[in-house]
Amino acid sequence: MELADRLDLLTEKLKSLVMERNILAEENTDLREQLDQMKVELHRQTAAINNLEEQNKSAKLAGGQNVNLDNSGIKDELNALIKEIDQCINLVKR
């Protein structure tokens, strides 16, 4: 193989390696951006979890209050309280 042929072969290999390096650099940039986005999402979710844990702790400390009531249970409880308030108002008016 002549020197010129070897030089051409080396040039082609070098071009191929440069192209591969550029592709990998782009992929690396994309992966770093994804990592940054995931870090932000992780931070957001961690804050949400901490907030929910605090709410749960507060609910437990409130004692005796059932935080697992469904909407109809809450509605019934509110209606009962409204009736009790109406009765108190009627007693005060007398």
The range of the structural domain enclosing residue 82 comes to 69-94
**Per-residue confidence (pLDDT) for residue 17, from 0 to 100:** 98
**Per-residue confidence (pLDDT) for residue 78, from 0 to 100:** 87
My answer on whether 16 and 31 are in the same domain is yes
| H or E element that contains 81 | helix 71-93
My answer on whether 74 and 55 are in the same domain is no
**Token digits of residue 31:** 């992966």
- What is the maximum span of the chain, computed from C-alpha positions, in angstroms? 118
18-59 residue pLDDT tens: 999 999 999 999 999 999 999 999 999 999 999 999 988 888
My answer on whether 55 and 74 are in the same domain is no
Residue with tokens 């870090």: 39
**Per-residue confidence (pLDDT) for residue 40, from 0 to 100:** 92
Q: Are 69 and 77 in contact (CB under 8 A)?
A: yes
My answer on whether 12 and 53 are in the same domain is yes
More confident residue, 43 or 69: 43
- How many structural domains does the chain have? 2
Q: What is the pTM (predicted TM-score) of this model?
A: 0.53
